[in-house]
Structure 1
Amino acid sequence: MTQFFAKTAGKRGEIYVYDAIGRSFFDDGVSAKSFAESLKALGNVSALDLYINSPGGSVFEGLAIYNQIKRFAGEKIVHIDGIAASISSVIAMAGDEVRIAANGTIMIHDPWGMTMGTAEEMRKTADSLDKTRDVLLENYVARTGGKREQISAWMAAETWMNADEAVERGFATSKVEEKQFNAAFPMLDKFNKVPAGLRKQATSVDARMAQMSMRLQKLNLGASPKTA
């Protein structure tokens, strides 16, 4: 079940992105379309508060969400309540201010892709990934004012930043009080350098999903056969 919703508080609009970016097979996650609909539903608000706790997801869905936020005419404040990893870290860069919780985390990395086919087709995919990386890199440089070469190196290394590091490097403008959050996203298992506490949560949710699958299989095996 997706953890994505919006509401108004006076003239301020609030959108909560507590899920992966892009719709999945199970129709969860935050798509650019659903984000646009929620933004429109806020009505005539003069400020936007965006709350993020997301492992990332689809690059192009995320870039579309980033551009929607940038086009919003009023004040834009991003609150990183838990993690802003992968493309969700790019979305966070759209804020006029980026406030990260004291126990929050930002992660940046080079984009991934999959392909099948000839060597030429794989070279085309690699070229496409390089171009996508450059787009993401420019967004980070524009937000932080940092050196392109340094940020590119951080992306290549899959860099996880705590709140102090994020503020120091310009990915966030301020650190705020600690938040309670759930980062049990299975997607985190795909990354190489996930902090131990976050990986434990990801492993825990994978184990629960596996147990649920086994229970369902047992129920199916124990069911009475149907006749035609």
Structure 2
Amino acid sequence: MTKIVIPIKSDVIDNNTADFYDFFGMTNYVSPKKVGDQLAKVQTGDTVELQIASNGGDVFAASEIYTQLKSSTAKVSAVIQGLAASAASVIAVAADDVKISPTAQIMIHKAWSTMQGNAEDLAHESQVLSGIDESIANAYEAKTGMKNSDLLNLMSKETWLGANDAVKYGFADSILTFDEKEPEKQQQALQAFAGAGTVVPKQAVTKWQALMASITANKAAPQNDNKITSQHDLRDQKLAILFGKK
């Protein structure tokens, strides 16, 4: 019997964005593929432990991870080491048993986006976001047993739950305790919290995918001088993507 530890650290991102992160050497993230690769190792009798310290990220990626975990044959536990915010809180409640550090926090809120458009576009986006909120609340309801309406009310206020409140509301099952023989675990929780970050915009991922397609086309037609042909050009393209330049 083996315990498979899956870090839920820093950004929660979709698989396409994960390819972008890997390309730039940004390895501190969690994606459905990363979690799926670990769950694929599960054998009869194995357990899974999520170690969570994340500001959240892509709610649809979190939903996919939630479904993967709930579908696993292994017993899944979660240890909230620092912060389980937003999308990361959705992943946390997929666990059969959730423990939270006495210094940790859970943050829940309603979904948001950076939508632009006319009145009809924004009205439609409002409906989409309301549907996403309901989906998130469903996951919380399954864990906590609270009413969906009460959960939506907490989400609308952007509620932060310390360890005691997390247990009180049912988001966590117990509070971690430490003895003098386990100082390294407390240090690990502090370091994990400090590692949370901000998700790269989808526009940057789209630009990167176009860049990679251009490079592939250039390899197939090296005689075309208009294609990217040097490492210097590639570096400039990378920097342009990172800084949001065209």
Please report the TM-score for the alignment, with normalisation by the length of structure 1: 0.73
SS at structure 1 position matched to 2:38: helix
Does the 8 A contact of 2:31 with 2:61 survive in 1?
yes
Does the 8 A contact of 1:12 with 1:45 survive in 2?
no
Larger CA deviation: 85-94 vs 12-21: 12-21
- What's the RMSD between the two structures over aligned residues? 1.9
Report the CA distance between 1:42 and its aligned residue. Answer: 4.9
Partner in structure 1 of residue 112 of structure 2: 112
Amino acid at match of 1:82: G
Does the 8 A contact of 1:52 with 1:80 survive in 2?
yes
Partner in structure 2 of residue 218 of structure 1: none
What do the CA deviations read for 1:82-114 (whole angstroms, capped 9, x no partner)? 110001001011111101111111000001112
Report the CA distance between 1:41 and its aligned residue. Answer: 3.8
Does the 8 A contact of 2:42 with 2:74 survive in 1?
no
SS at structure 1 position matched to 2:138: helix
Report the CA distance between 1:43 and its aligned residue. Answer: 5.2
Amino acid at match of 2:7: Y
What do the CA deviations read for 1:65-98 (whole angstroms, capped 9, x no partner)? 0100001112111111111000100101111110
Q: Does 1:68 align with 2:59?
A: no
What do the CA deviations read for 1:46-69 (whole angstroms, capped 9, x no partner)? 211111111100000000001000
Larger CA deviation: 41-50 vs 159-168: 41-50
**Structure 1 residues 45 and 17: CA distance shift in structure 2, 3 A:** farther
Stretches of structure 2 that go unaligned for 5 or more consecutive residues are 179-185, 200-246
- Larger fraction in helix: 2
Partner in structure 2 of residue 37 of structure 1: 37
Report the CA distance between 1:11 and its aligned residue. Answer: 2.0
Larger CA deviation: 122-131 vs 10-19: 10-19
What is the correspondence of 1:79-90 to structure 2 with a 5 Å cutoff?
79-90=79-90
Report the CA distance between 1:186 and its aligned residue. Answer: 4.1
SS at structure 2 position matched to 1:117: coil
Match of 1:15 among 1, 6, 9: 6
Report the CA distance between 1:44 and its aligned residue. Answer: 5.2
Does the 8 A contact of 2:85 with 2:107 survive in 1?
yes
Aligned partners of 1:164, 1:151: CA distance in 2, in Å?
17
Report the CA distance between 1:132 and its aligned residue. Answer: 0.3
Amino acid at match of 1:110: K
Partner in structure 1 of residue 161 of structure 2: 161
**Structure 1 residues 34 and 155: CA distance shift in structure 2, 3 A:** same
Give me the identity figure in percent: 32
| Paired positions, count | 179
Stretches of structure 1 that go unaligned for 5 or more consecutive residues are 1-9, 189-228
SS at structure 1 position matched to 2:124: helix
Aligned partners of 1:40, 1:171: CA distance in 2, in Å?
27
SS at structure 2 position matched to 1:20: strand
Does the 8 A contact of 2:8 with 2:88 survive in 1?
no
Which of structures 1 and 2 has the bigger CA Rg? Answer: 2
Does the 8 A contact of 1:110 with 1:155 survive in 2?
yes
Partner in structure 1 of residue 144 of structure 2: 144
Aligned partners of 1:38, 1:47: CA distance in 2, in Å?
11
Report the CA distance between 1:142 and its aligned residue. Answer: 1.2
